Amino acid sequence: MIYQGNAIGVVRGDDDIATLTFDLKDESVNKLSSAVVTELEEAVKALKGETGLAGLLLTSAKEAFIVGADITEFQAMFGKGGDFLEAMLMRVHGIFNALEDLPFPTVTAINGLALGGGCEVLLTTDFRVMSESAQIGLPETKLGILPGWGGCVRLPRLIGADNAIEWIAGGTQNTADAALRMGAVDAVVAAESLEAAARDILARAIAGELDYRARREEKRQPLKLGPIEQMMAFETAKGYVKGKAGPHYPAPVEAIKVIQKGAGEERARAQAIEAKAFAKLAMTDVAFNLVGLFMNDQVVKKKGSRYEKQARPVKQAAVLGAGIMGGGIAYQSASKGTPILMKDIKEEAVELGLKEARKLFTKQVERKKLSTEKMAARLTNIRPTLSYGDFGHVDLVVEAVVENPKVKAAVLAEVEAEVGEETILASNTSTISIDRLAANLKRPENFCGMHFFNPVHRMPLVEVIRGEQTSDAAVAATVAYARAMGKTPIVVNDCPGFLVNRVLFPYFGGFSRLMEQGADFARVDKVMEKFGWPMGPAYLLDVVGLDTAVHAGEVMAKGFPERMGSLGGEGESSAIQLMYENDRLGQKNAKGFYAYEEDRKGKPKKVLDEAAIELVKGVARESREFSDDDIIARMMVPLCLEAVRCLEDGIVGSAAEADMALIYGIGFPPFRGGALRYIDAMGVDAFVALADGLAEELGALYAPTDKLREMAAAGECFYATQVQAQA
């Protein structure tokens, strides 16, 4: 034994080949925490001090190789400032360089996932062998940073600048075949042959058959690119990536600049350039929030995993209602391997649902994500029916009929009589109370909400809604089924609008108030899109459908009359209500706040419509000029306050789940971290002061809660780590 730590062990074989194994104790995966990096430093020192070694093999005892750095340490580290970060990175470069410079050949056996810092470790060795099922990549730009442990230096020298830019700026996970094709690895073999293949390469390098010194020299030297080639590679890439990433995500373009600046330098200088750029990005709000987002996602996944462990598996599902939504649910279930019955009372509705599923499968084939054979096999997972004949064997039924409480209640009572006593019933409702729908059921403990977002195949969120009588078993089975469908389920308690729509409608309330005071809806859209929303409120209302918005607004007005009474009901003349009354329903009938024409791909394209502009003028009670900051405050304050209320009321279990639901469900700008992190970033006291100022003029929708005032007075925030970075 050359070295033994908590995560790393190094043994010397009879053949004088050392094997360094990553195996982090009491963890399911290997990750590079600061403690593990210190162990790597000690292990490399021990290897350097060992005489007569012929070679080194890097392996992992886990299913994955190394999933990356320990992201839980990031925010605290980022809070220590740029100088600390640069020094820390240069220390790691020293460790990795010492590994790269060992006086004998080195090879990595990549048995599974090798991402971020894990990928940067394997880039230090002379050779790499990869299992067929393994994947490698540098996803740091998705966290608002860039590879900081040599990825921007070594990868371009291994696979070329163009390919490295694609991998690093895109943050992609790459298959073994792609890695071999690019030259990132030297061989791809079956998992059972991995160690033998790695040892074979090592033996050939020791024998002088493979020149390992030339390999490592290539990684130490400047990139072999002429000035014209450099200009073409980097300038073209910067323009393309900037357009794709957008103005709020600087990391992908910054990564290209780092590769470009380091291209003409030898290893040490290029690494110093990388370290400086990493530290600069790590100090931005974007990196802070995106790392926070990753942490929140882990919270949601862990909760989902705990439910899944308690759940009875859903081996056969069913969906009631075979329209676009029902067809989307059937497609999602079938495509992920859970067979599903799709029932409706009309033959043409069943055909519509099948057509929707076929269309989605065909798109997968066209994008080469699926073979024709696999599509045919997965389509057989959907069984259309007009009767309840086979419902006795169904584990979970999703009711997806029209959003009408009487119709839903009747259908649910009907299906309950046809299924087994343990079958879970779940209603895909966006607004109707789960307790109200449970009132007519004989087994309300087996009933919950399962709110999918449209379009089902694209939107990652599913709200699982617990009613007063819903059992843990029903929640667990529904969460497990949502996860099996590839969705992110978040469990919430019953209330009007549940979590996401309850938080969204005050945002629409802010929009309606702006219209009443003479704001231009197209300008409001532009301001909110610039703020980071995928679409502005008027455009979003058109996509949702003005009839749907009016119906949901009425539910919210009835549920929260003091704050949301103006969102719906008789006598209300909001811009939303006015559109609906004038049969402007949005994209579904090609006219709403905007008119819609088909683009070249047959998709609806919005255009300004004078008729809509004139209609909206009819609700304006005054004519005021608003700054961009005014518009943002009037839109964001009511949304954020409702998220606070949902947390205080116990509708959602944690700030992390609330923020993730808004990001996954309505496209809250990810780089801002979510509604509650947005309040933290502003400072709870500053947010309360802003809300109070608006509440004086605009009323209860803008009034902070008593608990939020207490938080402001005590200097508290929603997240424990709120060491806000400086841009």
Question: Quick check: is 451 catalytic?
Answer: yes
Query: Looking at 93, 393, 451, 551, which residue is catalytic?
Result: 451
Residue 443: burial class (beta carbons within 10 Å; 0-12, 13-18, 19+): middle
Q: Angle at which helices 684-698 and 628-648 pack, to 10 degrees?
A: 110
Give the distance, in angstroms, between the CA of residue 322 and the centroid of all CA atoms in the same chain.
Answer: 29
The pair of three-digit structure tokens given for residue 633, joined into one six-digit string: 């405050």
Q: How far are the Cα atoms of 383, 412, 414, 448 from residue 417, in angstroms, in the given order?
A: 21, 9, 6, 17
Residue 275: burial class (beta carbons within 10 Å; 0-12, 13-18, 19+): buried
b (16+ CB within 10 A) / e for 655-682: bbbbbbbbbbbbebbbbbbbbbbbbbbb
State the residue for tokens 């963890």: 27
Alpha carbons 393 and 549: distance in angstroms, whole number: 37
- Report yes or no: 126 and 216 within 8 Å, Cβ to Cβ: yes
3-class secondary structure per residue, 391-437 = HHHCCEEEECCCCCHHHHHHHHHHHHCCCCCCCEEEECCCCCCHHHH
- Residue 203: closest CA among 1, 17, 50: 17
b (16+ CB within 10 A) / e for 293-318: bbbbbebbeebbeebbeebeebebbb
Residue 476: CB partners within 8 Å, gap ≥ 6? 307, 308, 310, 311, 312
Q: Where are the alpha helices (DSSP H) in 449-531?
A: 472-484, 500-516, 521-531
State the residue for tokens 């749907």: 548
Give the distance, in angstroms, between the CA of residue 15 and the centroid of all CA atoms in the same chain.
Answer: 47
- Residue 150: closest CA among 175, 127, 128, 118: 118
- Report yes or no: 449 and 429 within 8 Å, Cβ to Cβ: yes
Dihedral (CA of 108, 165, 76, 718) sign: negative
Q: Which residues are known catalytic residues?
A: 451
